[in-house]
Every structure is written in C-alpha cells, then in structure tokens.
C-alpha cells in the first residue's frame, strides 16, 4: 500500500452542536494517524456531518452529498456521511446514494477514527507515526477545520427528554445524557491551549445539565476560573423555571457573556400546549426582564415557529405583541415544517404554506422595525469585543460579547493593526439591516 498518510476534511452542516461533534470526529481521526486537509477536494476522506432538523436542513444535506459526489469523481476519495441524516435515513442513503462509501449515525463521533479504520483497513498504517503535537497545535490554523477561530464549542450533554411535538431530535439523539464533568473540563482546557478565548457550551437542553440549575452554575463557575478563558457562553437555555433560577448566578460568573439564548418557539398558551412545551406569555416576559436586570447590556436571542397546527390569527397577534413589548434583540423565525417521527405530524389545523409564509414575514417585518431602534441605541456606544477573522484586506470581522459566533450580527472594522483573537473594544459607527460597522478603540 501507499504509506503516505491519508488526509481528511469534515464538512459540518447544521448547528453549533454539530460543530462540537465534528471536533470530536477530528480528534479521533488524528489519533488514528490521519492528517487534516485544506479542502474537501484535496482530502482522501471527506466526511459530511449532516443535519435533518427541518426540511430545509434535510435538503441542504442531500445537496451537499450530491455535490461531494461530483468532487469524488475527480479523485480517488472516500465519501462518508455521519450524524443525524445517517441516523434517520440509513437505508435510503444506501439505496439512493451510491456515491456514499460509508455512513454512521449519532453518538459515535469520538469513535470515528476506529470506525473508519475497521471499514477501510488498507488506508490506515499500523505505524501511525502520530505526532501528538497535532492535538495541541490547533491555533487559528485555517487548514484545520473548526480550529481556525478564537472560539470553540464544548458539548455538555446530548439527547433530550422534552418531547416537543415538532422536534425529531430525541429520535435521532436519544434520551438526555450528561457529559462527564471531567471530560467537559478536559475539552475546555484543550480548546484554550489551542488558542480559543471563548467557550460556547452546547447541547440539546443545556439547562437540564445534571437536572439542576445549581449544578450548571457550579460548572460555569469552575470553567470561569480556567486560565486563558475570556468569554463563557452557555447556549440554548430552555425557557423554564430552572433558567429563571439560573439567572441569579449570572452576576457571580465574571466571564459570562452578557447574552441569553432562550428559544420560546411561541407565546400563546394554546399553541405551546399543542407543541408540548411549558411556559406562557407572562412567564416569558418576566424571564427576559429578569435577565436584563441581573446583567447590564445583556441581549436576548430567541426563536419562534410560525404555523404550528392549531395556530390562529390571534396567536400570531400575541407573538407580535410580545416582540413589540419585550423587544428581544435577536429573533430567529421558522415556518413550521411537519417531520416524520414527530408528534406534530398528525395534528390537524395546520395553516396553508402560503399563510405560514405570510405570518413569518409579518413577524420578521416587525422585528426588523424594532431592530432599527435597537441599532440606533448602539450608535456611538463602546462594547467589549473579540476579533473573529479577516474579511478582506484591512477589514476585520469583530464581534461584541453580546453576539454569539456564527449566528448573530458582527461589526466590520477597518484597521491594519488587528489580528485574530484580539480582545478589546469596538465602537459602533453605523449599521446595516443586521450587521454593523465600527472602530477598534482603546479604553
């Protein structure tokens, strides 16, 4: 066999939780002696970490696989599909996608190297000549996917017990399982040693960690004290009483980002009941008001699903009223997409697709009007910030601590003296629809 070391590239689709899983895949492949490639085209193993949360995600996954299949025709390459799409549609992939050489589902990301070694033994050398420095030398290197930014995702649990009627995740990821605290600390330490300055904690249900907001607060405080950490950002806090109580600890965690991601999905009691979710309009308003009171300059990210079966015009009016009254800074909107394997699939009373699109657009237009006022209040204000990447010559992508990586708005700054990972302050000078422009300032 050719003894040259085989290379790999991971294409990650979907949410930050998938990015964390891709990191586990990456490390597992390194341990087995494979080396990272700079592109899918130049790799020997192209792994697609898939998503199938909603219909559009499924379509993106299929399109990505087909495009990768065209690349594969030009190179002697193995195409591997992993994750949620593989878990959900293994037989369809085997029957309808002959370009896919191998697939495996969720829950085995950390075993990826061993799995591929068993499947393709001729591509793995017994003498790995593995350089452990590769595991530590992951500092802002664009040739190593998922390690080219000054932030890193660390998973603290997997699976979910909520049973939301619109969600396929429990069928794909299984029941809720905590990640061992020692593993969380180890992964965080590795990310910080690799150059990350911001740690984003991800899971399907972050607030459910060890079934106690006190346990989650204790974990946050332990991570808060780790050397090299500048920003700590727990993502996806379900809007329930545990999250409400967790807010009491926010002021005690000095490196916590002034940020709350808590997806409501709706505010109408009737629709929430149909969705099999808890909470109501007044509780959500109190939750967000408390979050803003415990941490100065905190900004809120939430999401709404419009058009769920039984949703009526008055329910949409409640969402509009909530956005007008509470003014969450970041709003993500989804048209309801029935999914096989969910409780919502057989529910009656779903509005037409045209009506759903109309409702989404109504809510989006209202949020964008609010966002103009929110942006106007940001003008001239100076925020703690981090430099994420270089956009083009002299232009840098800077992110306020109020914005999560990859999903929220950024500030474009023209400054020849910046570099990736710089921590400092940015002044907002102007804004576009979502993003802003600004200046790096000394403070």
What is the residue-wise DSSP string for 385-435? EEEEEEEETTEEEEEETTS-TTTS--EEEE-TT--TT-EEEEEEEEE-SS-
What are phi and psi for residue 395, nearest 5 degrees? -110, 130
Q: Rounded CA gap, 205 and 47, in Å?
A: 26
Residue among 367, 382, 378 nearest 436 (CA): 378
What pLDDT does residue 134 have? 55
- Please name the residues in contact with 432: beta carbons below 8 A apart, sequence gap of 6 or more: none
What pLDDT does residue 433 have? 94
Mean pLDDT by 10 residues, the chain (443 residues): 73 88 87 86 94 87 93 89 93 94 92 93 71 50 56 93 91 91 92 89 96 97 96 97 97 97 98 97 98 96 97 98 98 92 90 97 98 97 96 92 96 94 97 96 78
Query: What pTM does this model have?
Result: 0.87
What pLDDT does residue 443 have? 64
Q: Rounded CA gap, 341 and 172, in Å?
A: 10
What pLDDT does residue 142 have? 42
Q: Rounded CA gap, 208 and 215, in Å?
A: 9
What pLDDT does residue 24 have? 86
């Amino acid at each position: 066999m050719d003894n040259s070391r085989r290379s790999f590239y991971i294409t990650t689709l979907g949410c930050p939780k998938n990015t964390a899983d891709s990191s586990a895949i990456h490390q597992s492949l390194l341990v087995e002696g494979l080396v990272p490639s700079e592109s899918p085209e130049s790799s020997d193993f192209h792994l697609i970490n898939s998503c199938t949360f909603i219909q559009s995600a499924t379509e993106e996954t299929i399109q990505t696989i087909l495009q990768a299949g065209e690349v594969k025709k030009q190179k002697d390459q193995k195409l591997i599909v992993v994750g949620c799409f593989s878990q959900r549609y293994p037989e369809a992939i085997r029957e309808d996608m002959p370009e896919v050489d191998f697939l495996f589902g969720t829950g085995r990301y950390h075993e990826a190297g061993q799995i591929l070694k068993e499947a393709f033994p001729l591509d793995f050398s017994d003498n790995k000549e593995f350089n452990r420095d590769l595991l530590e030398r992951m500092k802002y290197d664009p040739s190593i996917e998922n390690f080219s930014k000054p932030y890193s995702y660390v998973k603290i649990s997997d699976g979910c017990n909520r049973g939301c009627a619109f969600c396929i995740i429990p069928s794909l990821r299984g029941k809720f399982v905590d990640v061992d605290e020692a593993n969380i600390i180890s992964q965080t330490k590795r990310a910080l040693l690799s150059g990350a300055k911001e740690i984003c904690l991800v899971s399907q249900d972050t607030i459910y960690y060890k079934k106690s907001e006190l346990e989650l607060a204790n974990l946050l405080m332990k991570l808060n004290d780790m050397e090299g950490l500048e920003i700590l950002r727990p993502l996806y806090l379900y809007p329930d009483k545990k999250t409400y109580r967790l807010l009491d600890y926010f002021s005690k965690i000095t490196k916590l980002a002034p940020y709350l991601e808590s997806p409501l999905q709706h505010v109408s009691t009737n629709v929430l009941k149909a969705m099999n979710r808890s909470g109501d309009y007044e509780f959500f308003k109190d939750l967000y008001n408390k979050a803003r009171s415990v941490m100065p300059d905190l900004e809120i990210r939430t999401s709404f699903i419009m058009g769920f079966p039984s949703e009526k015009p008055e329910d949409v009016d409640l969402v509009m009223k909530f956005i007008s009254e509470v003014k969450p800074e970041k709003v993500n909107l989804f048209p309801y997409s029935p999914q096989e394997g969910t409780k919502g699939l057989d529910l009656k009373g779903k509005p037409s697709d045209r009506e759903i699109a109309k409702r989404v657009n109504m809510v989006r237009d209202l949020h964008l009007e609010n966002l103009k006022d929110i942006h106007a209040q940001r003008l001239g204000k100076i925020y703690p910030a981090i430099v994420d990447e270089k956009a083009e010559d002299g232009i840098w992508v800077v992110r306020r601590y109020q914005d999560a990586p990859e999903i929220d708005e950024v500030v474009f700054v023209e400054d020849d003296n910046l570099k990736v990972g710089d921590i400092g302050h940015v002044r907002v000078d102007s804004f576009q629809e979502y993003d802003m422009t600004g200046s790096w300032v000394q403070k």
